[in-house]
Amino acid sequence: PYEVLIVGGGPAGAAAAVYAARKGIRVGVAAERFGGQTNDTMAIENYISVLETDGPKFSAALEAQVRHYGVDIMNLQRADKLTPAGADGLVHIQMENGATLKAKTVILSTGARWRNVNVPGEAEYKNKGVAYCPHCDGPLFKGKRTAVIGGGNSGIEAAIDLAGIVEHVTVIEFAEQLKADAVLVNKLNSLPNVTVHTNAQTTEITGDGSKVNGIRYRDRATGTEHHVELAGVFVQIGLVPNTEFLKGTVELSKFGEIVVDAKGHTNLPGVFAAGDCTTVPYKQIVIAAGEGAKAALSAFDHLIRS
């Protein structure tokens, strides 16, 4: 069995692997896609000490560092069940391919995915004007016109954040009213360069073949179609943690996030979690990496005490 088995190979899993391996113990990482969300990132400009890199480069660097420490990397392997430690004291992770991996401690770092709006143009222009992370990609639209799809807290926070950087922000909300907290809505309404359309259904993200040039929405009250010219669209209709396979075993929040304490413990002994799949706020690479390191140190602490 592994002393530390990490499920998920994004920044959180990679940091956990490096920290655990440096303790001289047997470490494995099983990942559906090593590198995780960073593979889909165009430019990374906020990872401390790295002025600028791109997603594939960053992901390759994560993997090289993990390999350097002799960690067993099981890439393209999806976990689909966790069984808490029984009489043998080992946590069992059942893989989709039928294999079962056993470990004294497990770190869950399966990340999250942005919910898509699923309209024509979204997939085609992803990273070509369609973006999901205002902290990451907001500055790419400096001085340009953008839209935010989604009027919940994350959408309105994104709109306020973007309004300080871009020329103009159009907010498009499907429901009759913005769902964000009143304090955010008031702040939004005080900004001069924001237009809000409620009761509006996004029907298409338009482009010129190489990048986004606008958004089309239908006014749900009148049925009329409108087109707004702009350079970027931020989709903010929710982040979905990759934790479906843990339902019923590991405690999850109402949003499906793994509930962790300040040291990365879950409700199960020997099971830790880190990164975007957890209740830790602000889903960012530097945060996921820090949480992964923390979970590995907590797993090691658990090993030396049991």
Note the residues at the interface with ligand FAD (CB under 6 A): 7-13, 30-34, 36-38, 40-41, 44, 46, 78-79, 109-112, 114, 132-133, 136, 242, 245, 275-276, 283-286, 288
The least distance separating ligand FAD from the CB of residue 245, rounded to whole angstroms, comes to 5
The least distance separating ligand FAD from the CB of residue 51, rounded to whole angstroms, comes to 13
The least distance separating ligand FAD from the CB of residue 78, rounded to whole angstroms, comes to 4
The least distance separating ligand FAD from the CB of residue 224, rounded to whole angstroms, comes to 32
Give, to the nearest 10 degrees, the angle between helix 11-21 and helix 55-68.
20
The CB-nearest residue to ligand FAD is: 111
Give the per-residue SS3 of the chain: CEEEEEECCCHHHHHHHHHHHCCCCCEEEEECCCCHHHHHCCEECCECCECCEEHHHHHHHHHHHHHHCCCEEEECCCEEEEECCCCCCCEEEEECCCCEEEEEEEEECCCEEECCCCCCCCCCCECCCEECCHHHHHHHHCCCEEEEECCCHHHHHHHHHHHCCCCEEEEECCCCCCCCCHHHHHHHHCCCCEEEECCEEEEEEEECCCCEEEEEEEECCCCCEEEEECCEEEECCCEEECCHHHCCCCCECCCCCECCCCCCECCCCCEEECHHHECCCCCCHHHHHHHHHHHHHHHHHHHHHC
Nearer to ligand FAD, 22 or 135 (CB): 135
Nearer to ligand FAD, 267 or 284 (CB): 284
Nearer to ligand FAD, 46 or 306 (CB): 46
Nearer to ligand FAD, 283 or 302 (CB): 283
Answer positive or negative: Cα dihedral of 174, 179, 180, 186.
positive
Nearer to ligand FAD, 178 or 205 (CB): 205
How many CB atoms are located within 10 Å of the residue 83 CB?
13
The least distance separating ligand FAD from the CB of residue 96, rounded to whole angstroms, comes to 8
The least distance separating ligand FAD from the CB of residue 274, rounded to whole angstroms, comes to 7
Nearer to ligand FAD, 105 or 197 (CB): 105
The least distance separating ligand FAD from the CB of residue 228, rounded to whole angstroms, comes to 22
Nearer to ligand FAD, 41 or 154 (CB): 41
